[in-house]
Amino acid sequence: MSSSEAKLKPSSSELDLDRPNIEDYLPSGASIHEPHGKLRLRDLLDISPILTEAAGAIVDDSFTRCFKSNPPEPWNWNVYLFPLWCSGVVFRYLILFPVRALVLTIGWIIFLSFFIPVHFLLKGNDSLRKKWERVLVELICSFFVASWTGVVKYHGPRPSMRPKQVFVANHTSMIDFIILEQMTAFAVIMQKHPGWVGLLQSTILESVGCIWFNRSEAKDREIVAKKLREHSQGADNNPLLIFPEGTCVNNQYSVMFKKGAFELGCTVCPVAIKYNKIFVDAFWNSRKQSFTVHLLQLMTSWAVVCDVWYLEPQNLRPGETAIEFAERVRDIISVRAGLKKVPWDGYLKYSRPSPKHRERKQQSFAESVLRRLEEK
Amino acid sequence: MGNTSSMLTQYDIEEVQQHCNKAFSQQEIVSLYERFCQLDRNGGGFVSAEEFLSVPEFAVNPLSQRLLRMVDGLNFKEFVAFLSAFSPRATLLQRIEFIFKVYDSDGNGKVTFNDMLDVLHDLTGQFISENQRKQVLTQVLDEAGYTKESLLVLSDFVKILGSSGLKMEVEVPVD
């Protein structure tokens, strides 16, 4: 028996050392005590900690919680309040909604009657055309916000247009972009959508300068990183707005920030957005509704009330990695907007977790088994 | 109980409670139903393996495949019964029975050396060689008075695991 020679086979997957440790975030209901003492049959057969972790995940898990819609509590449950609620519904659908639709239509007419001429006639004079288009995009966004009776309170100094700075914000719905855009014409990086949204993206948003990505393309990431770098270095490009979570989260949690925005060598200006749930749940659950339905839902609610905080610009600290920088900024935004942090990558909505996490657990168990085998 | 209904009646709750031997309170069963519906995205009345694996915390668990075999395609009543071993009200015997079932993949009531080796493989992955695993298992079995050819039954598991308490509880969030 060569147990004294028992050596651990090296891990073939490189452990990403600067990823935050998931174990720090997971509930430590399963005993994380360091087992010691001679290895017995009982220790091998007792899989209760691992089973408990699995059952705990089945019953409740922090990832699914991030994408749970939280509609406001129903309050219309008695004879007195129900008719009040009914008349509210009638008012919202039959009076507010048509008025809002009208406002939006007027807004589009004004926008298009200026945008189209400006876009084509000023083709020669680029800087003037860009200035006009910027103003017009801010205008149509304001009309959109008015069409949901958006009450937005902006806190903090308005972003100044400087080169080599990017803006990052937490992401709840595509309306985040509209709400921020009505104040400042940002250039944004977005997933290309189908349908009328895609049409708007390719025509109007092109004018403020947008970068497209495709989540399903793996190689896409390098191309996009290059485009980001180019854009942020350009002096007269619109400031770039990035949503590092990469997906819409329900405004109560924040998922991990992708490091792309944090390794551009630019100042990062965090922006925190918090919606007031009492009026409407602004979370766009893209698995459950299309953007059109989401917009209609907003247009038939009383109001969209939110706070936007422009926070202090941050720079990469000496000795800090991009991932640490991203986590630090996520912390700043989450604290300001009252979001709970979870250690999951938003893209896990679309794909499985990497085997690295499971391997880490396996490695730690294997090490403990072999160590205890040696003990007398 | 309609599989596609989104409301549980009092009768349904009591039926489920009976089926799991009162392991969960009625409030907990309602919470579990909400969770079940949340996991069952396509509304088929059962949660498929894909839907379980979409929970990252579950997918990274080394025993997820084994558990999937036990929990895939269960309807709500069976789902609650499956989880009953993790209720604070479950007895030690129920918990040991659950662990036994995880090992006994062919369900014939006997756990072989290979069954135990398979689970050890799931737990340690590539970080111990197959030979080392066999070595370790043979050694501890030997010390406990069994051999490689021994077939362990439930009472063996009770003897081995029952000596000290098993911590195997999961809290059902109840709002």
A interface mutation test: which of B47, B140, B163 has the most A CBs within 10 A? Answer: B140
What residues 49-68 of chain B have any CB closer than 8 A to a CB of chain A?
52-53, 55-64, 67
**Mind listing the pLDDT tens digit for each residue in A124-176?**
777 788 888 888 888 989 999 998 888 999 998 887 878 888 999 999 998 99
Instruction: Give contacts of A61 with chain B, Cβ < 8 Å.
Output: 55-58
- Does residue B27 register a pLDDT over 60? yes
Question: What does the pLDDT read at residue A4?
Answer: 38
Q: Which residue has the higher pLDDT, B1 or A38?
A: A38
Question: What does the pLDDT read at residue A2?
Answer: 40
Question: What does the pLDDT read at residue A33?
Answer: 53
- Does residue A18 register a pLDDT over 80? no
Flag whether residue A50 sits within 8 Å of chain B, measured between CB atoms. yes
* Complex ipTM more than 0.90, yes or no: yes
Which of A73-77, A165-169, A200-204 shows the lowest mean pLDDT across its residues?
A73-77
Instruction: Give contacts of A357 with chain B, Cβ < 8 Å.
Output: 60
Q: Please report which helix (H) or strand (E) contains residue A156, including its range.
A: none
What residues 83-112 of chain B have any CB closer than 8 A to a CB of chain A?
83, 86, 95, 98-99, 102-103
**Mind listing the pLDDT tens digit for each residue in B117-155?**
999 999 999 999 999 999 989 988 988 889 888 899 999
pLDDT band with cut points at 50, 70 and 90 for residue A13: very low
- Does residue A356 register a pLDDT over 60? yes
Which of A17-26, A333-342, B71-80, B165-174 shows the lowest mean pLDDT across its residues?
A17-26
Nearest to B161 among A3, A6, A46 (CB): A46
**Mind listing the pLDDT tens digit for each residue in A34-64?**
566 788 888 888 899 999 999 999 999 989 8
Nearest to B168 among A41, A52, A58 (CB): A52
What residues 63-82 of chain A have any CB closer than 8 A to a CB of chain B?
63-64, 68
Flag whether residue A29 sits within 8 Å of chain B, measured between CB atoms. yes
Closest CA to A161 of A138, A192, A190: A138
Nearest to B59 among A50, A352, A361 (CB): A352
**What proportion of chain B, given as a percentage, has pLDDT over 70?**
97
**Mind listing the pLDDT tens digit for each residue in A100-124?**
999 999 999 999 898 888 888 877 7
Nearest to B61 among A11, A54, A62 (CB): A54
**HEC letters along chain B:** CCCCCCCCCHHHHHHHHHHCCCCCCHHHHHHHHHHHHHHCCCCCCCCCHHHHHCCHHHHCCCCHHHHHHHHCCCCHHHHHHHHHHHCCCCCHHHHHHHHHHHHCCCCCCCECHHHHHHHHHHHHHHHCCHHHHHHHHHHHHHHCCCCCCCCECHHHHHHHHCCCCCCCCCCCCCC
Q: What is the pTM of this model?
A: 0.80
Question: What does the pLDDT read at residue A34?
Answer: 59
Flag whether residue B70 sits within 8 Å of chain A, measured between CB atoms. no
- Does residue A184 register a pLDDT over 90? no
Question: What does the pLDDT read at residue A228?
Answer: 84
Which three-class secondary structure state does DSSP give residue A169?
A: strand
What residues 309-368 of chain A have any CB closer than 8 A to a CB of chain B?
344, 348, 352-353, 357-359, 361-363, 365-367
Nearest to A3 among B55, B135, B169 (CB): B135
**Mind listing the pLDDT tens digit for each residue in A257-307?**
988 889 888 899 999 999 998 888 888 887 788 888 888 888 888 889 999
Flag whether residue B175 sits within 8 Å of chain A, measured between CB atoms. no
- Asked if B116's CB is within 8 angstroms of A45's CB, the reply is yes
Question: What does the pLDDT read at residue A159?
Answer: 78
Looking at every residue in chain B, the average pLDDT score rounds to 89
